[in-house]
Structure 1
Amino acid sequence: MDRPALKNKTEVEALRPNGDKATVYWDAEITGFGVRVSPGREQETKVGGTLKKVRKPSYTFFYQGRINREVFKVTLGTLGRLGFTAKNAADKAREIEAQLRLGQDPRKAKATDSHTTTFGDMMTAYVEMLQSAGKISARNVENAIKKDIASAFPKLWNKPAQDIDIDDCVRIIAKLNDEGSPRQADKLRSYMKAAFTAAINARGNVKAPKVMREMRLILNPVSVIQKVSGSSNASDRALSVAEFRAYWKRIKELPEPRRSIAMLHVLTGGQRMQQLARVTLADIDRDSMMMRMSDGKGRRAKPRLYSVPLLPQALECINNSTGSGRYVFSSNGGLSPMHPSYISDIAADVCTAMAEAGELEGEAFTGKVIRATIETRLMKAPYRVSSDVLARLLSHGLGGVQAKHYAHDAMHEEVVEALEKLWRLLENQPEPSAQVYQLRASA
C-alpha cells in the first residue's frame, strides 16, 4: 500500500494492525518516521444502544535512524495520550531529522534535557503508573488530566516540572471550582499531589517510570493546598421503609435482565457497582452460597478479595440473568459486564415512576442511595445490625487478616442473618420473636 501521511490524524486512525500482531507503517515524507499500530485492549463502547467490547488500535509514533552505522530508535509518543497528536509526532520527527543533519546524536540531547522534564511528562508518567498497577480509575484520571490540565493550561503543561509552584497548581484547581465543579477541582488536586509524591519517591524505586526517576524532585507544591470546600459533601439521603419497599416492588416487576440485576444489587447489600461489574460465574460458589468480590479502592497495589453471602433468592436472580456468557452482572446474558451506570439508570427510571405515583416522600434518589438505605435501615429497630457486621457486608475498610479469615469466623453467620433481615424488611415480614414459656414451680 502507499505510505500514509502520518501527520494526518485521519490517515493514521485508518491504519490497522495485521491480525493480533503489531504492524509498522512509515511516513510518506519524513524518512525514518513511523507508527507502530497495536491491536490494543478491549474496551466497552455503545453500539446501537448496546454495550459491546471493541478493540481500539493503539498508535505509537517513533523515529528510527542511523548514527555511525548504529541503528537507533526514539519513541515519540502515543496518539491521544493526554493530548498527544499526529502533528506533535511529526514535529518531533523533524527535530530529530535536523539534529542528524548537524551531526548531533538525538539520544544524547534527550539525556542532557532530562532535567527539563515537563509537568505534562510527569502527569503522563503518573497515569502510566496507574495503568501498570491495573487501577480501574486510570482511564478517568487520564481523561481528567487531558481535559483540565493539558487542554486548559498548555503553557503549564509544557513548563518544567521542577518549576511548577503552588500558584500554578492553585490556578488549575481554582478554575474548576469557580466553574461550579468543586468535586472535580478536588480530584485534580489529589491527582497532582499523588503525581508529585510518586515523582519524589521514584528516585529509590526501580519500578517507577524512568521519567520520574530522573526528575530529582524534592518538593511537592500541592501538599500545602487545602481540600476544596464542598467537594465531598456526602448526601444524607436514605429511603424511608415505605420508599424502599416501593422501590423493591417496582424492580421486581421490571423485564429481564433489569429485574434480576437490580434485585441482586439489593440482595447482596448494595455493593459498589464497579466491583459488581467484575463478578464472573467463576466467583460464585453455589455450595457455600458465596460470591467472591475484589475491592481495588485506595492505595493498595492489588485488589483485596472478600466474599458476600448469597441468599437462595439471590442465586435465583443469578440463574435468571446469566446466559452463555461469563459475567454475572450483565445486560446481554453475561457476554460482557454491565456498565457501572447500568444499575443507576434503572434506579433513575424507578425513581421517576415512584414520583409520578406519589410514592416518593423525599427528594429524587440515585442508585448509590440504595447502599446507604440498606445500611441505615438495618442499623435501626427492629433489626439493629451492628456496625461491625455492616462493615463486613459492605466492605468498609476491612484489613487483610479480616478478609483472609472472613468465611471461617463467627461473624460470617451474622452477615447471613443481616441479609435475611434485609429480605424480611423488603417483603414486609415480621421479625421472629422469642417464644416465652411458663415454667411450673416444682412441688
Structure 2
Amino acid sequence: MMQRRLYRRPLLALAFVATAAISLSACASTTATPAATATSDELEGRGPIQYVSSPDGSGAAQATIDAWNAEHPDEQVTWVELPLDADQQRQQMVQNAQVEGSAYTVLNLDVVWTSEFAANRWITALPEDAIALDEMIPATVDAATYRDTVYAAPYYTDGALLYSRTDLLAAAGITNPPETWAEMEAACDAVLALPEAAGMSCYAGQFDKNEGLTVNFSEAVSSAGGSLFNADGEPTVDTQEARVALDFLVDGFATGMIPEEAITFQEEQGREAFQSGRLVFLRNWPYIYKALAAEDGSSSVQGKFGVSAIPGLDELGVSTLGGRNIAISSFAENKATALDFITFFTSQEQQRERLALSSRAPVFAEFYEDDAIVAKYAYLPTLLTALERAQPRPKVVQYGATTAAIQDDIYAALTGVKSPEEALENLQSQLTTITAD
C-alpha cells in the first residue's frame, strides 16, 4: 500500500477513470473566418509530398505509403517522423505553420487539434465530395469539421475501453464486467485476495503529465455527470461533479489501488503493465488489443483478458471521442497530390488493412456490422458502444494553453502538491482567462 497523501478524501469508490481531452502546450492564437467549402480544382500542384506523423510501430502507415508510392512514381510520399509524445508533435507542426513552412504537406492531427489549426488557417478546407463522409460514423466527421466546413479526413477513431483480467475475475466468482466505480472496487478487493493475484495492482490509466492526463481527468468528470465546458464554451471544472472525479483519482493513488508507478504512465507503460500481468484493470485505447492477444509468447495475458465499456459513478462511464484526422497544410506545395493521397489513405480498403495490422478502429460504420470482421476483432461491438456514448470534446481553439493548465493543476493534486479544492479553483480561473482571450 502507498503512504496516504497529505490531502486525503473519504474514499467513495476507486476512480477507474479515463479520457477526454483537449490538447497540448503553447497556445496558438484565436479565431479566423472559416474558409468556404473547397473544391478539388482549387487544390493545385502535383509532385512529391511529405506525410507528417508520430512513429507507427505496427507498420500499417508505412504499408499504405509503400502501396501509394508503388503506383505513383512521380508523386512519392516521404514520411516525416515526429516524436511519439503528442505535445511535441503538435509543437513541431505549430512551429512549421507559424513560419508558413512548406516542409510539411499532409498532417496527421489529433482530433482535438483540428479546430485550432482550422481557426488559424494552418490547414486547408477539403472538398467534401472527395471523401466518403456519408459512410463514416457521424461523430468522426464532426471532429473533422470546424464551423460547418470540413478541414480534414477522419483517419481512425478511438474510444476508451476497460481491459480486464477475466481469468482472475472468474476465479473470484465475478462473471460480469463492472459498470460502476463501486463495482470495480469490489471486484478488485475480491481478485487481489486470491493467491494467484499476489503482487498485482488494481487499476491504471494514463497519469503522466502529458495529454493523457487531460484525457483521463476529463473522462472522469464526464463519468461523474459533469463536463469541462458547458454548451456556451465556458469552463465548468469548479463543480461538485469535477470534485467527485478528482477525489476518486486522488484517493486511488492515496490507498494504492492505483499503483504509485502509474503517475508516470502513458499509454505504452500501461499496456506493458497489463500485458506483463501486473494489473487487474486498465483503461486504454483499442490499439493495444493486438499486442495483448498476440500468440507468439510476448503477452502473458493472451486468452486471459476481455474488454468492456469503462465504468462510471452510477452507471457505465462516458468515453471521449479520440482518434486522428488527416489534413493538408495551407503552406504546402502539391496540394492536388496531397488530396489524392488522403483519399487513398483513408479509404475503406486501407482502413481494413490498417485494422489487421494495428487494431486501429475504422471510421466507416459498416465495419462494426460485418460479422466476419467482428468475429476476428471481438472488441468492435464494445467499442461501438463506447463511441455511441462518447462525448465530443469542446472545440476550444486554444487547445495548447487549455491542456497545459489542466495538466498542471491535476498533476499537482495527484502528487499532493495541491488539495483537490485548490487545484480545481485555480484551474477554473486559468481556463476562464484562456477562453476569454
Q: Decide: shared fold, TM above 0.5.
A: no
TM-score of the superposed pair, with normalisation by structure 1: 0.26
Higher relative contact order (CA 8 A, sep 6+): 2
TM-score of the superposed pair, with normalisation by structure 2: 0.27
User: In terms of Rg, which structure is larger?
Assistant: 1
